[in-house]
Structure 1
Amino acid sequence: MPLVVMCGYPCSGKTRRAEELKVYFEQNCDRQVHIVGDGPLGVDKNVVYADSQKEKNVRSSLKAEVERKVNKDHIVILDSLNYIKGYRYELFCLIKHAQTPFCLVYCLTSDEVSSTLNKNRDAAEQYSQEILDALVLRFEAPDSRNRWDSPLFTILKDDTPPYEDISDALFKRKAPPRNMSTQSQPLSSANFLYELDKITQDVLMAIFDAQKTSVPGDLISVPGATEKIELTRSVNMAELRKLRRQFISYTKTHPTESEHICNMFVQYLKRSLH
């Protein structure tokens, strides 16, 4: 049923808080609780976080496990760094599709405290100082103004978790409504595949052409879309075409009305290129 996403620096107490929440939910909410985390995957954190592709594979595995376990009867706690806001947005889309509430629990520490706690761990469980420093540098702090980071509960090292508030967020709030990109609409146009191909190609060309006169950080308007795309880096046509193929493959099995394609594709690109 609900999803609790843990977030914080390495060695900030996420696993301890996840276990505390598990005990509380089992004793007070009569719910089965699943903790999904890096541990069962048997990964070497220093190897994984030194290789972007391996890290991406681990995140995908964790997301897939969350998706398998989220249902109407159980609570799922994702115990991982979850330090990339784009990944947290993917989790938000997942729970919107599953139509279940969620919240984010942010274990807030300073980098000095995390480093000290790391050194107090058994040698086999420690992050190397180089990896820990890199993760702290890359960390994208949650912001409650973002819908994918809300409701947000920030817990300091010596705080008692706000158990009742977290429980209310999970059991007394409605699930976020689905949007166009997470709903399956009936296929109503005989020319759907033609429209899908043409519209997505037009979007690519609009982005590619706009990059010739823009700089990273500019908002790019796409004809037919209500949203704009902010590119933080230059994107070549090969990468755009790859994302287009992925979107087309998904949309063929989840058809929508033709007038929604452009906005859906723009939303997809914004998430994928973030």
Structure 2
Amino acid sequence: MPLVVMCGYPCSGKTRRAEELKAHFEKSTDRQVYSVGDGALGLDRNSVYADSQKEKEARASLKAEVERKVNKDNIVILDSLNYIKGYRYELFCLTKHTQTPHCLVHCLTSGEESSLWNRNRESAEQYGQDIFDALVKRFEAPDSRNRWDSPLFTVLKDDILPLDDISDALFKRKAPPPNQSTQSQPLSSTNFLYELDKTTQDVLMAIFNAQKTSVPGDLIPVPGATEKVALTRSVNMAELRKLRRQFISYSKMHPTENTSQIANMFVQYLNKGLH
């Protein structure tokens, strides 16, 4: 059943709100409610968020746990920072694949307010100040105009959680239909991995070379795709390679039999990730 994605600065009240939601769903429905988060997985926040590789592995573990639990019967609440828009897009794709609704609850606070709450916690529960500041700086705020951030419920610290509205968004709204980039298909094409690697590399090189003569706002044609890459800013190769790795990782799990569509699927992914 539905996925609720919590989002916000460190120490912005996400866990308290997640607990409110869990209690509400357990009282108002007969469905199994799961809360997945850093605490549930026993993650040491200062150790994890001080090391980019550990953080990446932690996000992968959280996503895998969500994927194991989300289905047409359960309610899953992901109680973590979820501060990277690309990661929220991956979660959105997961809900499309499982054909279940989702929503985002943004616990909105100022950096100063969250920092104060952090300092008032027991020392074992605090973020180190350097780590806290870095996470706030890197935070990518949700935008309801993005499909993966919608429906979006923004909650201030003194607000009453709109439980009925959230329930309506989850239970009275149709699940997003699967599309070619998220629908799981059998891996029958023996050269799929080769085409995936070659096509995505060709797309990256086309973008990199086109940026030498293009300006932000240009639509960049790429080999094998009918759709074009819309760049609103200059993008370095490191960022492009990161998005390519994410796309390849997802595509290996959800391959398409029609390898001619890989380029268009990658362009769509890039246009979301570079938005």
- Normalised to the residue count of structure 1, the TM-score between the two structures is 0.86
Conserved? CA contact 2:70–2:76, under 8 Å:
yes
Q: Work out the CA distance in 1 between the residues paired with 2:192 and 2:49.
A: 42
Q: Which segments of 5 or more consecutive residues in structure 1 lack a partner in the other structure?
A: none
- What letter corresponds to residue 83 of structure 1 in structure 2? Y
- Contact 2:8/2:81 (CA < 8 Å) preserved in 1? yes
The answer for the alignment partner of 1:71 in structure 2 is 71
Superposed counterparts of 1:187-202, under 5 Å: 199-200=199-200, 202=202
Deviation at 1:195, TM superposition (A): 6.5
2:97 maps to 1:97: yes
Give CA deviations for 1:22-78 in whole Å, capped at 9, x if unaligned.
000000122211000001322221221121111111111000000000012110000
1:38 corresponds to which residue?
A: 38
Alignment of 1:132-151 (within 5 A): 132-151=132-151
Paired residues of 2:197 and 2:248 also in contact (CA < 8 A)? no
Going from structure 1 to structure 2, the CA distance change for 1:84 and 1:219 (only over 3 Å counts) comes to farther
| 1:52-131 alignment runs, 5 A limit | 52-131=52-131
Query: Residue 170 in 1 paired to residue 151 in 2?
Result: no
Query: 1: CA distance between counterparts of 2:111 and 2:257?
Result: 46
**Which position in structure 1 is the counterpart of 2:226?**
225
Change (3 A) 1:170 1:256: same
The whole-number CA distance in structure 1 between the counterparts of 2:141 and 2:86 is: 12
Cα offset, 1:167, TM superposition: 0.3
For residues 73-109 of structure 1, what are the alpha-carbon distances to aligned partners after superposition, in whole Å with 9 as ceiling and x for unaligned? 1100000000111110010001100100000001111
CA contact (8 A) 2:36 2:66 kept: yes
Q: CA deviation at 1:137?
A: 1.0
Q: Shift in Å at residue 20 of structure 1?
A: 0.5
How many aligned positions are there? 273
Cα gap change, 1:194 to 1:154, in 2 (>3 Å): closer
- The one-letter code sitting in structure 2 at the alignment partner of 1:110 is S
- Do the aligned residues in 2 keep the contact of 1:82 with 1:88 (CA within 8 Å)? yes
Report whether the alignment pairs 1:235 with 2:237. yes
CA contact (8 A) 2:9 2:111 kept: yes
1:23-34 correspondence runs (5 A) = 23-34=23-34
Give the C-alpha shift of residue 156 in structure 1. 0.8
- 1:132 offset after TM fit, Å? 1.2
Counterpart residue type for residue 265 of structure 2: M
Q: How far off its partner does 1:240 sit?
A: 8.2
Distance 1:62 1:244, change over 3 A: closer
* Cα shift readout 1:171-220 (whole Å, capped 9, x = no counterpart): 00011111221124688999978876765454344224224334788653
Question: Contact 1:107–1:154 (CA<8 Å) still a contact in 2?
Answer: yes
Q: Is the 8 A contact 1:31 1:75 kept in 2?
A: yes
Q: Is the 8 A contact 2:229 2:270 kept in 1?
A: no
**Which amino acid is the alignment partner of residue 228 of structure 1?**
V
Per the alignment, residue 181 of structure 1 pairs with 181
Distance in 2, matches of 1:162 and 1:118, equals 25
**1:127–1:187 Cα change, 3 Å:** closer
Which residue in 1 is equivalent to 2:252? 250
Query: Partner amino acid for 2:236?
Result: S
Cα 1:170–1:202 change in 2 (3 A) is same
TM-score (normalised: structure 2)? 0.86
CA contact (8 A) 1:247 1:265 kept: no
Partner of 1:22: 22
Q: 1:175 to 1:233 in 2, by over 3 A?
A: same
Distance (whole Å) between structure 2 residues aligned to residue 196 and residue 47 of structure 1:
35
Return the offset for 1:112: 1.3
- Residues 261 and 242 (structure 1 numbering): CA distance in 2 closer, same or farther, change over 3 Å? closer
> What is the Cα deviation at residue 152 of structure 1?
0.4
Structure 1 stretch 202-211 or stretch 7-16: which is displaced more? 202-211
Distance (Å, rounded) in 1 between the aligned partners of 2:247 and 2:156: 44
Aligned to 1:262: 263
| Alpha-carbon spacing, 1:115–1:262, altered in 2? closer, same or farther (3 Å) | same
